[in-house]
């Protein structure tokens, strides 16, 4: 009986499910970053943005959810990263190289810490750019997305 099923599948061919745009079920999720480790939080958020937590995940389709991260200023880092981790950027002009420590970036723009960590964990393609726009990060507990009724997402650990 098993051999018959395999032959039937071979003749018919295996069919791969690929969700259409109108079949994608998107949710708004809210993640509280207070007391969470930066890298662990970023990897979970990146998987939610990509849709890897859904059974209908397809790598070439944006099937992820909208993610709102609150309390970005209270995210924690381990070790001596607060003083030693350095963010670098270049404007493209001569002498346009800038360096900034994690501590200085946290004081100036705490949302950027989580945004940069998550951006590094999603694909660096046009699809990844589009998925990244579904991330909303706020320094405090206030956010303007109450109308979307975001559901709280609890991180394990």
Q: What is the CATH number of the domain that holds 55?
A: 3.90.1180.10
Q: Is residue 72 in some structural domain?
A: yes
Show the domain range for 104.
24-152
Confirm if 70 and 140 have CB atoms less than 8 A apart: yes
Q: Is residue 128 in some structural domain?
A: yes
Q: Which pLDDT score, from 0 to 100, does residue 145 have?
A: 97
Confirm if 118 and 132 have CB atoms less than 8 A apart: yes
Q: Which pLDDT score, from 0 to 100, does residue 4 have?
A: 45
Over residues 39-50, the mean pLDDT reads 98
Q: Determine whether 49 is exposed, middle or buried from the number of CB atoms within 10 Å of its CB (0-12, 13-18, 19+).
A: buried
pTM: 0.87
Q: Is residue 4 in some structural domain?
A: no
Q: Which pLDDT score, from 0 to 100, does residue 17 have?
A: 78
Whether the per-residue pLDDT at 139 is higher than 50: the answer is: yes
90 forms beta bridges with 97
Q: Which pLDDT score, from 0 to 100, does residue 5 have?
A: 44
Q: Is residue 1 in some structural domain?
A: no
Band of pLDDT at residue 117, cut at 50, 70 and 90: very high
Whether the per-residue pLDDT at 2 is higher than 60: the answer is: no
Q: Is residue 81 in some structural domain?
A: yes
- State how many domains the chain has: 1
Whether the per-residue pLDDT at 53 is higher than 50: the answer is: yes
Whether the per-residue pLDDT at 22 is higher than 60: the answer is: yes
Over residues 38-54, the mean pLDDT reads 97
Q: Is residue 61 in some structural domain?
A: yes
Query: Strand pairing of 151-152 and 135-137?
Result: unpaired
Q: Is residue 114 in some structural domain?
A: yes
Confirm if 150 and 29 have CB atoms less than 8 A apart: yes
Q: Is residue 99 in some structural domain?
A: yes
């Amino acid at each position: 009986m098993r051999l018959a099923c395999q032959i039937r599948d071979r003749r018919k061919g295996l069919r791969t499910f690929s969700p259409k745009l109108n079949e994608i079920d998107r949710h708004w999720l809210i993640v509280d970053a207070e007391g969470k480790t930066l890298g662990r939080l970023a990897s979970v958020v990146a998987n939610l943005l990509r849709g890897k937590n859904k059974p209908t995940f397809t790598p070439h389709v944006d099937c992820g959810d909208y993610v709102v991260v609150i309390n970005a200023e209270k995210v924690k880092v381990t070790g001596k990263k607060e003083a030693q981790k350095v963010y670098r950027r270049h404007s493209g002009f001569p002498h346009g190289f800038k360096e900034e420590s994690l501590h200085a970036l946290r004081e100036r723009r705490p949302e950027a810490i989580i945004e940069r960590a998550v951006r590094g964990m999603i694909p660096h393609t046009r699809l990844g750019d589009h998925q990244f726009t579904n991330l909303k990060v706020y320094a405090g507990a206030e956010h303007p997305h109450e109308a979307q009724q975001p559901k709280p997402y609890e991180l394990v650990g």
